[in-house]
Amino acid sequence: MRVVFASQAREEILEATAYYRDRSRQVAEKFGIDIAGAIDLLQQFPGAGSPISRNARRLLLRNFPYQFIYRVEREDIRVYAVAHLKRRPRYWKERLR
């Protein structure tokens, strides 16, 4: 299966990476590694995340306070949000409609 990011989710990754890069290049690199690890995990185990609704799941990143909000859709795993755990809770809910 392939992992496909919605445009908003891609933008959220870019924003978080820029935030971390402004503070430390090494932290930004670790964030990228964490994102890549989550993608690898989803490709191997699409059901790895916890259910949050009938069709959607969330996968927490290992080392950063972010989560992937995603659905398994036929041959793809579609990530709708890469959301910070403590900012604007559930803002991404509308994206799942």
Q: Give 39-90 pLDDT, tens digit per residue.
A: 999 999 999 999 999 899 999 999 999 999 999 998 999 999 999 999 888 8
Half-sphere exposure of 23 (CA within 13 A, CB side): 10
Specify the pLDDT at position 13: 98
Residue 55's domain comprises 2-87
Specify the pLDDT at position 58: 97
Whole-angstrom CA distances from 6 to 25, 37, 79 are 26, 18, 6
Dihedral angle of Cα 57, 60, 65, 69, to the nearest 10 degrees: -20
Residue type, 32: G
Tokens representing 46 are: 């699409």
Record the pTM.
0.94
Residue 25: inside a domain: yes
- List, for residues 13-37, the tens digit of each pLDDT value: 999 999 999 999 999 999 999 999 9
Residue 94: inside a domain: no
Residue 10: inside a domain: yes
Specify the pLDDT at position 83: 97
Tokens representing 91 are: 């803002």
- Residue whose tokens read 């964490």: 34
Residue 92: inside a domain: no
